[in-house]
Each structure stands twice: as structure tokens, then as C-alpha cells.
A and B are shown apart, each in its own frame.
Chain A
Amino acid sequence: MHRFANPARFLRLSAVLLPWFAWATALLTAIGLYYALFASPADYQQGETVRIMYVHVPAAWMGLFVYTNMAIASAVALIWKHPLADVAAKASAPIGAAFTFLCLVTGALWGKPMWGTWWAWDARLTSMLILLFLYLGHMALVNAFDDPTRGAKAAAILALAGFINVPVIKWSVDWWNTLHQPASVTRVGLPAIDPSMLVPLLLMAVAFTTYFGTVLLLRIRSEIAAQKLRNIRMAQVRSAGHARSAA
């Protein structure tokens, strides 16, 4: 772990990985969209609205996946003080927030024609909305302090405490009766989705994952540069102050 926690090593590694992630995202999105919009059938009950699933479900999975990563990074930052862990958590939050937002909006666009409502305060939908607020809270808290290390620490504690919400979202549909239907893919036994619909769903899910990889690498690089900029400017201010006090 320590080997990758070194920012200089990370920058070299990311320079190698970034083009692979970017090209994989472009290719997988193209194939995934072809299957999602053209080469897959309509559902026997839900008709063409089933195509909303191919963006809604990957967005929901990514909302949970990114948050889990962020919580792990926050734990590593709090316990082992790795220099890159705070940076990774800070870089993840806006991406996770975007996925969660997309999940909620596409869910509303699917719920209106099928369920008959844009929104319902059931356990699944409400816990997903809380996830969005956790992301937004994290983004606000990171920048709420003059001292960036204090902001990072407060945000890491929020990320860890909020992780309780992740299993609640996952199993809300099994623990309580909800308007939202139970899991189709990650259930005991075979997925309840016909292979012709599972293919576009999984393709889009992998495309969303490589997209996350691409944007995460970009944002971590950006944050490393921003931290160096802050340090240089602080040093300049200090040496200028020193020069003034000496005079």
C-alpha cells in the first residue's frame, strides 16, 4: 500500500493507466449503448421503459461502489495517515454525487410511467436520497476549514459514519416492504433478468466503472497539483512575512 501512497509514484502510474481507462470507457459506452437502445428487446410488462434500467441501475451501483471506496479511503486516511487516501476520498465525492443524482432522476423518470408516481417515501428511495446528502455534506465539509487537514479529517469521519447507510440501501427492499422491487441481479439463485437484457446492463455497468476510474485519476492528479500549489504559496507568504519581520 505504501508504494502507491507516494504521490510521485501515483502520478507515473496514472499516466500509464489513464489512456487505457479512457479508451475502455469510450469503447464500452459505444457497445453498451448499441445493446441498450437497439439490440435488446422490450420488456413483457414494462415495454420500452425497461431501457431506462440500463442507465438507472449502473448509476445506482456506482453510487454505492464509489461511497464504499470513499469510506475505505477515509479509514486508511484516519488510521494510517496515507497522503493519498484523503486526496482519493476528496476526489471521489463529486463523482459519487453525480451517479447518485442520476440514479434518483432516472428513477423518477421510470417511476412515473410504471408505478404512477415520480417519488415515494419508501425505504429504498429515501435511503438513496440520504446517500446524495452524505456526498454533498462531504464535499462541503472538506472545504469548510481554513486548515485543509482539519477539513479532510472531519470529512473522513462523516464518510465513515455515513457508511452505515450503504447496507441499509442494499437490503432495504428485503427488510421492509417498499414500492421499489427487490434485487434482480444480485439475488440468491439465477438473475431474474433475461440474458438479452442482462448483456446491455452489465456492459453499461462496466463502462460506468471505467468512467469512474478515468475521472477519479484526473481528479486525484488535479488535487495533487492543487496541494503543491497551496504549499508553494504558503511558503511564499511565510518567507515574505519573514522578510518583513526581519526588516
Chain B
Amino acid sequence: MEQISAFFEMGGYAGFVWPSYVLTAVVMVALLVLSLREMRSNESQLRALEGNRPRGAARRAAARAAEETTEAGQ
């Protein structure tokens, strides 16, 4: 028990040593989590958009078709 409390006391400098480690951990974990979240959100939005969007020639044909329908609608 004494050894454990001596460890946490850090020779009387607990108020300086522990905040250094805790702050470092908090900032580094927060940056990791935020980066991971942003990446997942961007990639899932991209998948959703790319899924809806026909590629290449098909896309151009679809765009032409869309234009024709809007023209026809007017």
C-alpha cells in the first residue's frame, strides 16, 4: 500500500507529473478519435453518393436524359 501511494505522490510532484501524462493522453486520443470519425463519415458519404451515381458513358447518357426530360417538362 505504501509503495502504491508513494508512486502516486511522485516525490511530492504529483500535481505536475500526472497532469502532464493525463493531458497528453487526452489530446492524443481525442485527435485519433476525431480523425477516425471524420474519415468514416467522409468515406460513407462518398460510398452513398457513388452508389447513386452511374459511371462514365452511362452517367453522361443519364445526364442527357435528365436534360431532355426537364426540357420536355417545360
User: Which chain B residues lie closer than 8 Å to A218 at the CB level?
Assistant: 32, 35-36, 39
User: Which chain A residues lie closer than 8 Å to B53 at the CB level?
Assistant: 232
How big is chain A's contact interface, by range? 35 or more
**Stretch touching chain B among A49-57, A128-136, A181-189:** A49-57
Decide if the interface of chain B is mainly helix, strand, loop or mixed: helix
User: Which chain A residues lie closer than 8 Å to B31 at the CB level?
Assistant: 94-95, 98, 215
User: Which chain B residues lie closer than 8 Å to A228 at the CB level?
Assistant: 46
Q: Give the residue name and chain of the A residue nearest to B23 (CB).
A: A105
- For residue A211, CB closer than 8 A to chain B, the reply is yes
Assembled-state Cα–Cα distance A94/B27 (Å): 11
Beta-carbon contact of A109 and B39 below 8 Å = no
Beta-carbon contact of B35 and A215 below 8 Å = yes
Also in contact, A101 and B27, with CB within 8 A (given A219-B35, A246-B67): yes
Beta-carbon contact of A102 and B63 below 8 Å = no
Cβ contact of A55, chosen from B20, B43, B49, B74, cutoff 8 A: B20
Q: Distance (Å) between the CB of B49 and the closest chain A CB?
A: 5
- For residue B70, CB closer than 8 A to chain A, the reply is yes
Assembled-state Cα–Cα distance A38/B11 (Å): 13
Q: Give the residue name and chain of the A residue nearest to B10 (CB).
A: A48
Assembled-state Cα–Cα distance A231/B24 (Å): 37
User: Which chain A residues lie closer than 8 Å to B49 at the CB level?
Assistant: 229, 232-233
In the complex, per-residue mask of A52-87: 1 if CB is within 8 Å of any chain B CB, else 0:
100110010000000000000000000000000000
User: Which chain A residues lie closer than 8 Å to B66 at the CB level?
Assistant: 239, 243
Cβ contact of B35, chosen from A37, A109, A222, cutoff 8 A: A222
Cβ contact of B16, chosen from A101, A109, A232, A246, cutoff 8 A: A109
Spell out B's residues near A (CB within 8 Å).
7, 10-13, 16-17, 19-21, 23-24, 27-28, 31-32, 35-36, 38-39, 42-43, 45-46, 49-50, 53, 63, 66-67, 70-71, 73-74
